[in-house]
Structure 1
């Protein structure tokens, strides 16, 4: 089984800058659209945060 790096966005493969494991992070204060969450591959769901760039790009549509 491949280990999922929780510092890598599961959509684009870039750093997600998540600091939740250190206490507080930007990802705790942002709403990720359900449609974007559904694009995360099944084996990576709930294992790493989507990066802010992917969220912003999706919201700009």
Structure 2
């Protein structure tokens, strides 16, 4: 999530994928996901993330098949 950004929307992808929280923590759908969390995303599912807390550095990687 870019520095200074509190909300970030991931667009839907054509295939399922994963998110790995490397640094910081994020909130999504009312749940806080700390560093080390792995989230599964269904195909064609969008996801809104909030940095928690907003001034914390957040590093996330996303992996999916480009089909």
Task: Give the TM-score taking structure 2 as reference length.
Answer: 0.24
TM-score, scaled to structure 1: 0.25
Relative to total residues, which structure has the larger strand share, 1 or 2?
2
Which is helix-richer, 1 or 2? Answer: 1
